[in-house]
Amino acid sequence: MSDGAQPPVKARGLVKRYKEVLAVDHIDLNVRAGDVYGFLGPNGAGKTTTLRMALGLIVPSEGTVELFGRDPLREGARALEGVAGFVEAPRFYPYLSARKNLELLAALDGDGADGRIGEVLEIVELTPRAGHRVGGFSHGMRQRLGIAAALLRRPRLLILDEPATGLDPAGMRDMRLLIRRLADDGITVLLSSHQLPEVQELCDRVAIVDSGRVVYEGALAELRRQGGAGYRLRSTDDARALEIARTAPGVEHVLASEQGVGFQADEPHVGALSLALAQAGIGILALTPELATLEDLFFRLTEQDAEAARPGLDGARPSAANGAPAHGERLVEAQ
Amino acid sequence: MSSVAGAQSVPARALRGPRRPSTLIVYRWELRKLASQKRTYMGLGLAALLPLIFVVSQLVRGHPPRGADSIFASEIFQSGLATPVLMLTFLAPFFLPLIATLVAGDIVATEDSNGTLKTILTRSVDRGQVFAAKAGAAMTYGLTAVYVSAAVATVAGVSAWGFHSVRTLSGTTVSAQKALLLVVAANACFLIPLLTIVCIGVLLSTITRNSAAAIVGTLGVTLILAIVQQIPGLEGLHPYLLTTQYFAWQGLLRTPTDWAPILHSLWVCALYAVPALFAGYLVFLRRDVAGG
């Protein structure tokens, strides 16, 4: 199979142990060519460790990872052909200018990368600061320089770990646009991010990790579909509507919020609830279908996973389709 | 951020293999990094300063040191070429190893702690190339420090006391031209134990991931060996101690040339240097780069 036919990232049974700590627990990843693949998880979930293993920076305790069919551990730099990016914050030599840093990295890339320095500086809009020492750069400028350093390699796969961290709103928007453009140009992007709206906007497939394990991997649209359709009800008497909804058959996860009453149900049960409300003399002001956001689903998956891991519970892994209440709603309920 | 022109279509990339950079390119960049750091010049500046201080202080004093146990101490007023030899005697046991260790102990560890190791290890060079380049750069720095010190001592000595013939350790006299060649050769021989110390420094830099620990550790190793050299009853170990090899170059200053201590120094130092360098290489190849 040629390079082009191999998946950009294929991880199988990746494990990383640090003495007693299991940082990554049998992670499988499948990033396909052309994906903008979101890699999500709470802090300490094992995302960065996984990315470091993918780039050959960390030796897995078990399992394998291949980039375009090549194992970085066995093949070294050859496995990183066509691969670029950074894990955690991009780091540079503070005593060298931005241009000198890129010259160094271009020298380590070979393949005429030095001829692209001006071009990539232009892309990230650092040309006016190219002669300045990186030691004086802001975090956001270093992030942009990190992107420039990655683009020097003309990557087919771009691995970005929190690229928008430290950027101002305009910088975050520009970063999103840049990633979108790169993806449109055929570059596969593996994006680790805490910015869930950013992931929802950019990514077509996601993996969600928690406590070192993948709790969901697949299409974002499928995850949202599995998350189930929810409804938001505003009525003339929300308090009574809440009581009726809680006892209505087929209506689940009924929660009050400032925006009204939220619940999940299929269409026949929504119809039955409407009738029950009318019979009780409650007027329906609005009944709005709501698709679960990535943020809702992320908290459902990661927080339920933490619940399952608590002593005394059976530890069964929750499925992506379970219908636990969303994070924001749970906070309202607690009040 | 403006339009994306850095991307290239997949088929074009797949068709041709990229040209990989050579280890020489990586080595040159290691030297350029060293040349861009102020502390690099601090070490070299000290290597240059001490001979100057010595020459100026002798000029002010106006007579050779009394009771000096080195023949060159009494010779310095006869010929400026005795100065670099005497300075090598003074600086070899501690000062030049210290300067070399400042870079050798730092060269891997500082990149690890700053996070730049991950930056260069995700480019198109193998870990072995990076390690070789770093070890080579550290050795080059040690070599530079030795010859900067020797050059300054020679120029200062000759300026103060002239370019004249010198007496050797055997009591014979050699011409100024030959004495100059002997100065170059003696410093080259001193590089054998010095580069061995560099190898130990690179190993500790790789293992400890901490510049200070690596520098102190390397100096600690040399100090321990120096202490062992002073312990009565351990005389049998002396020929195999690294610190004993610091003065093997003096074989060059005898007539006829005594090659035995130099050849001995070569293989004894190899016993220290080769395992240290190989262990450092193996650790570097398999280590987790988790810093930064």
Whether residue A273 sits in one domain with residue A163: no
Residue of A nearest to B4 (CA): A123
Whether residue A113 sits in one domain with residue A24: yes
Specify if A309 maps to a domain: no
Whether residue A155 sits in one domain with residue A240: no
A330 pLDDT more than 80: no
Specify if A160 maps to a domain: yes
**So where are chain B's domains?**
21-286
Minimum-distance CB partner of A156 among B10, B32, B289: B10
Please report the pLDDT score of residue A317 as a whole number.
34
Whether residue A15 sits in one domain with residue A160: yes
Whether residue A27 sits in one domain with residue A73: yes
Tell me the pLDDT band of A266, cut-offs 50, 70 and 90.
confident
Chain B touched by A59 (CB under 8 Å): yes
Q: Which residue is it, tokens 């040339």?
A: B257
Angle made by CA atoms A312, A314, A316, in degrees to the nearest 5: 145
At which of A177, A205, A222 does a domain end?
A222
Specify if A171 maps to a domain: yes
| Residue pLDDT, tens place only, B18-64 | 678 999 999 999 999 999 999 899 999 999 999 999 999 988 987 76
| Domain enclosing residue A42, as ranges | 3-222
Whether residue A108 and residue B123 make contact (CB cut-off 8 A), yes or no, is yes
ipTM of the complex: 0.85
List, in sequence order, every residue forming a beta bridge with A189; answer none if it has no partner.
A36, A158
Tell me the pLDDT band of A98, cut-offs 50, 70 and 90.
very high
Specify if A50 maps to a domain: yes
Whether residue A266 sits in one domain with residue A131: no
Q: How many domains does chain A have?
A: 2
Which CATH number does the domain housing residue A60 bear? 3.40.50.300
Whether residue A171 sits in one domain with residue A279: no
Specify if A280 maps to a domain: yes
Specify if A195 maps to a domain: yes
Whether residue A59 sits in one domain with residue A189: yes
Whether residue A123 sits in one domain with residue A253: no
List, in sequence order, every residue forming a beta bridge with A260; answer none if it has no partner.
A257
Which CATH number does the domain housing residue A256 bear? 3.30.70.100
Whether residue A176 sits in one domain with residue A46: yes
Tell me the pLDDT band of B270, cut-offs 50, 70 and 90.
very high
Specify if A327 maps to a domain: no
B213: exposed, middle or buried (Cβ count in 10 Å: 0-12, 13-18, 19+): middle
Minimum-distance CB partner of B8 among A33, A154, A175: A154
Residue B28: list chain A partners with CB under 8 A. 107
Please enumerate residues of B whose Cβ is less than 8 A from a Cβ of A: 1-11, 13-14, 17-21, 25-26, 28-29, 32-33, 36-37, 114-116, 118-128, 286, 288-290, 292
Whether residue A279 sits in one domain with residue A150: no
Please report the pLDDT score of residue B70 as a whole number.
64
Please report the pLDDT score of residue A335 as a whole number.
25
| Residue pLDDT, tens place only, A231-240 | 889 999 999 9
At which of A194, A222, A250 does a domain end?
A222
B6 pLDDT more than 70: no
| Residue pLDDT, tens place only, A57-71 | 999 999 999 999 999
Across A129-153, average pLDDT: 93
Across B206-233, average pLDDT: 94
At which of A222, A243, A258 does a domain end?
A222
Whether residue A241 sits in one domain with residue A192: no
Q: How far is B213 from chain A (nearest CA, A)?
A: 22
A31 pLDDT more than 80: yes
Tell me the pLDDT band of B12, cut-offs 50, 70 and 90.
very low
Specify if A328 maps to a domain: no
A310 pLDDT more than 50: no
